[in-house]
Structure 1
């Protein structure tokens, strides 16, 4: 039996162990998966433990998707371009990093036939997940991208990307408003990264959070009749892709559709 897991800081909210158990069962994969909560000062030791304990692979979640990179032997071109790793493959002690969030995030648009070409996108947060979202919307033709953080960033603006603080959102509007921050995640579910008034100026809202399925941010959007999507599809998509990498297999799109359906109802029930 092979062993896999999830490296992160606070993992009590994570659905990954249950999700991976379901994937392994439905694909007849002989494997097990568990959470590896890691303090911030022990990330290097955690990555090295994959080698020592012969753990065949690991997912990586916030806030370590960038932190783990220096401790890997190789980075896949997609992950290197993003500067973000969420999946590690261990091949006889040789650790290679990948990013499967990119493909998982794309499911949110593909399953709804949502078009990014020529659209105006505002992204809340500037961490590892934000970098992935920025690259995806750039790759799919976004006309403008606004990155929002709590404080001004000492970065150069270019013709596509501008930077704002939350205090500067009063004049912002656009097609998609995407939350990549943990604000509103279990257990602090009453919080929202923006006001309901801000949401009125956008056509659709996406929250990468999946626990709860409906964050306050998404409820605000739905109350206004806006399309609102959580991060469950992204979670499922990246998990399936991770298993494909670890097991060197390819699964059908039907598996993703079944998992999205089942886990939406499983979480609600």
Structure 2
């Protein structure tokens, strides 16, 4: 690391669990890019922007809880991120702070490795930034999203915004869909035994996807397999969205297989 090394950062709270630094730093080294990716725990989006500007951070990732609030502090926002109403990526260039969203690309590419999204009914657990990205991506591909959320007002507002269906989470027993996607943090390490829904409802879905990648097989996915569902873990989405971030930061396409291997090895240790 020297004075020419560009700094990229993960902005959020908490950030200690994330493997983004491991993945991105490995790719920078492989591709010969003089850059370092660090994790910055920040309590507010305003504090995050102040640290980005004063430290000369060139770009990075935005995670919980700043994906929506960060939008208020950006100079420019991509069309997709504006439609989604959340950002997970930023680029700081020529004094301009631009936000983007690669979560939807990660979700879509991950799903398309296993199925055609068009005409599929896809139930989405949650109504936060990742859920917004999922709804947007699914609709872009011609799928039919159904939002399921514990807080009714938030779920209804999201459904109204995207003109799709909402059901309270307590009514999940009545839902039948091709796919169930968990976009909530329920089941993430260290609370690995938690699941966002009861075991008995999983038989109503052919596929169950969890965007959590640590652990790779969450309690939800273990229970879904036991119920006879096909499952998709969060690794593919994590790699796809990260690869798209590197392209936005550097204009270069990173090797996805290498990124996947790096994360898998990190999860084993």
Give the whole-Å Cα distance in 2 for the aligned partners of 1:110 and 1:38: 34
Bigger mean CA deviation after superposition, 12-21 or 162-171:
162-171
For each residue in 1:106-137, what CA deviation from the matched residue of structure 2 results, as whole angstroms up to 9, or x when unmatched? 2212322x111111111000001001000111
TM normalised by structure 1 equals 0.92
1:250 and 2:245 correspond: no
- Structure 1: give runs of 5+ residues left out of the alignment: none
* Aligned residues of 2:23 and 2:262 also touching (Cα < 8 A): no
Q: Which residue of 2 aligns with 1:187?
A: 190
TM normalised by structure 2 equals 0.92
For each residue in 1:126-166, what CA deviation from the matched residue of structure 2 results, as whole angstroms up to 9, or x when unmatched? 00100100011111112x32211113225465996221222
* Aligned residues of 1:51 and 1:92 also touching (Cα < 8 A): no
Q: Which residue of 2 aligns with 1:106?
A: 108
Structure holding more helix per residue:
2
Give the whole-Å Cα distance in 2 for the aligned partners of 1:31 and 1:182: 29
Give the whole-Å Cα distance in 1 for the aligned partners of 2:148 and 2:232: 19
Q: Which residue of 1 aligns with 2:136?
A: 135
Give the whole-Å Cα distance in 1 for the aligned partners of 2:201 and 2:229: 12
SS of alignment partner, residue 200 of structure 1: helix
Give the whole-Å Cα distance in 2 for the aligned partners of 1:99 and 1:242: 9
Distance change (3 Å), C-alpha of 1:167 and 1:237:
same
Q: Which residue of 1 aligns with 2:178?
A: 175
Give the whole-Å Cα distance in 1 for the aligned partners of 2:57 and 2:263: 26
Distance change (3 Å), C-alpha of 1:159 and 1:181:
closer
Q: Which residue of 1 aligns with 2:20?
A: 16
Number of aligned residues: 262
- Structure 2: give runs of 5+ residues left out of the alignment: none
SS of alignment partner, residue 106 of structure 2: helix
**Alpha-carbon distance, 1:16 to partner:** 0.6
Give the whole-Å Cα distance in 2 for the aligned partners of 1:2 and 1:171: 51
- Show the 5 A alignment for 1:36-185: 36-39=40-43, 42-112=44-114, 114-142=115-143, 144-153=144-153, 154-155=156-157, 161-185=164-188
Give the whole-Å Cα distance in 2 for the aligned partners of 1:31 and 1:145: 38
**Alpha-carbon distance, 1:264 to partner:** 2.5
Give the whole-Å Cα distance in 1 for the aligned partners of 2:38 and 2:161: 42
**Alpha-carbon distance, 1:199 to partner:** 0.6
1:222 and 2:198 correspond: no
Give the whole-Å Cα distance in 2 for the aligned partners of 1:62 and 1:131: 13
2:33 to 20, 29, 32: 29
Over the aligned positions, Cα root-mean-square deviation in angstroms equals 1.8
SS of alignment partner, residue 175 of structure 1: strand
* Aligned residues of 1:145 and 1:160 also touching (Cα < 8 A): no
SS of alignment partner, residue 164 of structure 1: strand
SS of alignment partner, residue 69 of structure 2: coil
